[in-house]
Structure 1
Amino acid sequence: MAKIAFILLTHKDPDGIIKQAERLTATGDYVAIHFDARAKAADYARIRDALDSNPSVAFARKRLKCGWGEWSLVGATLEAVKAAVEAFPDATHFYMLSGDCMQIKTAEYAHEFLEREDVDYIESFDFFASDWIKTGIKEERLIYRHWFNERGRKWLFYKSMELQRALGLARRVPEDIQMMIGSQWWCLRRRTVEWVLDFCRERPDVMRFFRTTWIPDETFFQTIVRHVVPEREIRTRTLTFLMFTDYGMPVTFYNDHYDLLLAQDFLFARKISPDAAELKARLGLLWGERGVAFPRSNEGRALFTFLSGRGRIGRRFAPRFWETESSLGRGRQLFILVCKKWHVAKRLVDQIRARTDLPAVEYLFNEEGGLPDLGGIERTVEKRNRHRRALLRMLYDHFKDERLILCLDPAAFDLMQDFTGDKAEARILEIECDFTDDYLIGHAQRVGLAGAETPREVIDQLLPTIRYDLKFESDRIRDAEFPKFERIRQSASVEANGAALARFLGIDEGLAREIMATDYLFVD
């Protein structure tokens, strides 16, 4: 049976540490604690007094003064690991935690999960080939020696790097290791931990190298584990659920995130707000429960991206620039059907194709395929968006027509602005559909905001946001006051919708009514 030794790195909140250690050891697991040497001596004494008598708790023999981005964080981890290996010979797994982490599953679930596969869980991506580092310096973390902390001594940090660059003092990564990178929150088997400690003793050259790298807690274990363990025995993921904002800061969880956290396919989560007393209490009780079934919808990151992303489309930042290549062509006409329910727009396009000679393409900026060979520009959605005007010019030429119907999602507001600002005549027809709760739930599942097992409480919180988001997209289009704009509604009569379609396409109103009389047009 799996028995976990938790490697607990802490620097504050002694009462929280005591509760965390007592909770984790109450189910038969272990805890090895490193408490930052920078912290108050009285706080450390309180922790020792409370936990020294607990045989399932060990303390790092050497306490280090830890600094963000420094080797000291790895050194502190190794000290706690050594204490755990020595004190708990029957521990099968070693799980890295911080004082801000809390369990989001039961101990019973965690043990069963770890017993399923004889593997290690650690993010381990190629340092140079992956895009794991989004901002800031990259190879400079390794090839230059870092003696100063960027946060506390910024001028010296960058000045020393500039000086090394000027003097040609860049160094090589040790030749026999592949540099990897990933989250510092891992769970390793006992055999792997012992191999890592053996490596540390046998390779002082590698240890010297890492001691002066920048942010080694994201590279040291990630690299060494990959060096000593076969790739087939590594799952390149963390078992601790964490997210980061656009600004590189960890997302903090609060009282109303309980159901969301339990639905994620992880064992622990960080960071839990120190003010989230209710959440901490509920999660604290969870660890010792038995027979709990957990729905695993795992939509947390997609949901956060969706909710925080509302600010990126004109509510918080200025609109992004769209491409400014040459015109679609003066005298050409572009008919834009805008509809959130893509199947409705596609059915309308089919009816227009069947009754007119107007060429049409559907959601070409959202879906792959569906276009003729245009020399490669049509192969990916990314290429189509990057060369949008060139793509449309080629379609006009392909169809040998000066008219073209195009379907757009209401979220593609920048495309509408771009095309209506062109020398060509662009017309917009918004198709306003009704949205039931069942449809919105299906929509959330299709785009990854929810899963089949997402708790109803999460769905109920999500639905108003999705409904408001759809309303915002529609309101934004109307507020733009595009010069040639029409709207048809699912709730309107065939006559009213036919008149709007006739004005939009410039066709006979009787023909437009025939098209709008299609009985299955708005069926979900």
Structure 2
Amino acid sequence: MAKIAFILLCHKDPDAIIGQARMLTAAGDYMSIHFDARAKPEHFARIKAALADNPNVTFARKRIRCGWGEWSLVQATLNALEAAIDAFPRATHFYMLSGDCAAIKSAAYTHDFLDSHDVDYIESFDYFESDWIKTGIKEERLIYRHFFNERRQPKRYYATFALQKWLGLTRAIPHDIQVQIGSQWWCLRRRTVEWILNFTRTRRDVMRFFRTTWIPDETFFQTVVRHLVPENEIRTRTLTFLMFTDYGMPVNFYNDHYDLLLSQDALFARKISPEAVELKSRLGALYADDTARFQISDEGRSLFKFLTGRGRIGRRFASRFWETESTLGRDRELMIVVCKKWHVAKRLVDRMRKVTNVPAIEYLFNEENTALPDLGGIQASLEKRTRHRRALMRMLFDYYDTDRLIVCIDPASLDLLHDFASDRSTTKMLEVQCNFSDEFLTGHATRVGLAGEQTPAETLERLLPTIRGDINFESDRIRDAEFDNLMILREGDQPEQHASLIARFLDISPDKALEVARSEHLFAD
């Protein structure tokens, strides 16, 4: 059975550290602690005294002063790993933790999970090819030497950085390694840790290189593990559940997040708020409960993004620079079908296309795999289509050699509707308002990642009214925009009423409009 040596880096809250160590080692596992040398000496003395009689706890033999973004965090981890390797010969796995982490599964579940696959769990994405770094410097983290801490000594940090750039003092990356990047919260097998420690003693060139890189805790272990371990023995993921806000700050978890945390496909979570005393207590009791069962739905990140994004939707009041003086054409007519149920809109525009012979394109700004002609690459991705929306539409009018075009757009894309409505061309909109059953909303939540097959019914009951309200909100925004030539087709109305709207929308005869309106199974889910 797996026996875990937890590698704990911490710098505060000694009582919480003592409790965490006692809880995790009570299940037969181990812990190696590095307590920051910058922290208060009396706090470290309290921790050592409280855990002195626990044979499953050891301490890094050398404590160092740690700083964010520095090599010191990596060195502290290596010191704790060396202590754990020597003190716990029966440890099979080494799991990186901070003082803000907490177990969100039972010890039995955790051990069974690690026993099920003989692999290492560590995020390791190609440093240069991936988009893991969202903002700030990238290549400069590696090719320049970083001697000072940006937060504590910003003037020295930026002065030496600027001087190296001015003098062209770049350096080469060691030729035989491919730098990787990822989260610092990993779980590695004993053999892998032994290889890493041996690597640190034999590859002094690599060690010198990483000591002066910036934020090496995101690159050192990730690179070395990928260098030493076969690819099929690595799972590029972290077993610690964590989320970040739009501003790059870690999300804190509180007492009411208990059910959410248990349903995630992870063994630990970070960060648990210091005020979440009840949450810590419940999670502590859960870790000791060998009979606990878990329903894994793993919708936490997508649910957080969905809920925090509500109410943040803004309108773009100025034209993009590439759209200045651009227009679809004064004599052209763009007809937009707006519908939340994509399959309904697709059936409708397919029928419109067959009856009127007007070209129609489905959700080209919402669906990556929409069938589009080759337009020189502008159609290659959703991001390009949206960024160059007017240029794309002009090219489609030209490609089909037509002055009339039908497209589908999701009601959430209000900025697109505003853009096209403000164009000098004629823009018509037909909003198709459908009925939404709980079954459909549940399926929708699953498709967009807000829920999973194992999401508890209680969670769905709380979630569905929010989703339904969000859909209604999108429809309300469209009506509030007071677009010219907006028509609303409601599912509950009769085909004759639908035909009247379709006739105005497509500028066709009532007979042809009724032929479109009487499409079979138009609103079927």
The TM-score bracket by the shorter chain reads over 0.9
Residues 433-444 of structure 1: pairs in structure 2 closer than 5 A: 433-444=434-445
- Secondary structure of the residue that 1:427 maps to in structure 2? strand
Contact 2:74–2:217 (CA<8 Å) still a contact in 1? yes
Q: CA 1:200–1:477 in structure 2 vs 1: closer, same or farther (change >3 Å)?
A: same
1: CA distance between counterparts of 2:203 and 2:92? 25
Q: CA RMSD in A?
A: 2.1
The alignment's TM-score, normalised by the length of structure 2, stands at: 0.94
Deviation at 1:400, TM superposition (A): 3.4
Q: CA 1:335–1:272 in structure 2 vs 1: closer, same or farther (change >3 Å)?
A: same
Amino acid at match of 1:516: A
| Count of residue pairs the alignment pairs up | 523
1: CA distance between counterparts of 2:318 and 2:255? 34
- Corresponding residue for 1:324? 323
1: CA distance between counterparts of 2:259 and 2:319? 35
Deviation at 1:269, TM superposition (A): 0.9
Residues 440-459 of structure 1: pairs in structure 2 closer than 5 A: 440-459=441-460
Deviation at 1:97, TM superposition (A): 0.2
- Corresponding residue for 1:133? 133
2: CA distance between counterparts of 1:320 and 1:282? 52
Contact 2:364–2:408 (CA<8 Å) still a contact in 1? yes
Deviation at 1:347, TM superposition (A): 2.1
Deviation at 1:21, TM superposition (A): 0.7
The reply on whether 1:310 has 2:338 as its aligned counterpart is no
Identity %: 65
Amino acid at match of 2:356: T
- Secondary structure of the residue that 2:310 maps to in structure 1? helix
- Gaps of at least 5 residues in structure 2 are none
| 1:395-421 deviation per Cα after TM superposition (whole angstroms, max 9, x unaligned) | 333443321111111112122111111
| 1:334-377 deviation per Cα after TM superposition (whole angstroms, max 9, x unaligned) | 11110001111122223323433433222222332433454554
| 1:276-304 deviation per Cα after TM superposition (whole angstroms, max 9, x unaligned) | 22221211111111133322222222222
- Corresponding residue for 1:523? 524
Q: CA 1:377–1:175 in structure 2 vs 1: closer, same or farther (change >3 Å)?
A: closer
Residues 454-493 of structure 1: pairs in structure 2 closer than 5 A: 454-493=455-494
1: CA distance between counterparts of 2:221 and 2:334? 56
Amino acid at match of 1:426: T
| 1:73-104 deviation per Cα after TM superposition (whole angstroms, max 9, x unaligned) | 11111111111111111001100000111111
Deviation at 1:250, TM superposition (A): 0.9
Amino acid at match of 1:105: K
2: CA distance between counterparts of 1:23 and 1:283? 10
| 1:130-173 deviation per Cα after TM superposition (whole angstroms, max 9, x unaligned) | 22111111222222222221111211110111112223322222
- Corresponding residue for 2:85? 85
Contact 1:14–1:46 (CA<8 Å) still a contact in 2? yes
- Corresponding residue for 1:426? 427
Q: CA 1:422–1:2 in structure 2 vs 1: closer, same or farther (change >3 Å)?
A: same
The reply on whether 1:59 has 2:70 as its aligned counterpart is no
Q: CA 1:168–1:362 in structure 2 vs 1: closer, same or farther (change >3 Å)?
A: closer
The alignment's TM-score, normalised by the length of structure 1, stands at: 0.94
Residues 100-499 of structure 1: pairs in structure 2 closer than 5 A: 100-314=100-314, 321=320, 324=323, 326-367=326-367, 368-499=369-500
- Secondary structure of the residue that 2:365 maps to in structure 1? coil
Deviation at 1:464, TM superposition (A): 2.5
- Secondary structure of the residue that 1:166 maps to in structure 2? helix
2: CA distance between counterparts of 1:254 and 1:63? 31
Q: CA 1:457–1:517 in structure 2 vs 1: closer, same or farther (change >3 Å)?
A: same
Contact 1:322–1:414 (CA<8 Å) still a contact in 2? no
2: CA distance between counterparts of 1:322 and 1:358? 31
Contact 2:338–2:410 (CA<8 Å) still a contact in 1? yes
Contact 2:106–2:292 (CA<8 Å) still a contact in 1? yes
Deviation at 1:108, TM superposition (A): 0.9
| 1:55-85 deviation per Cα after TM superposition (whole angstroms, max 9, x unaligned) | 1111111111111111111111111111111
Contact 2:363–2:370 (CA<8 Å) still a contact in 1? no
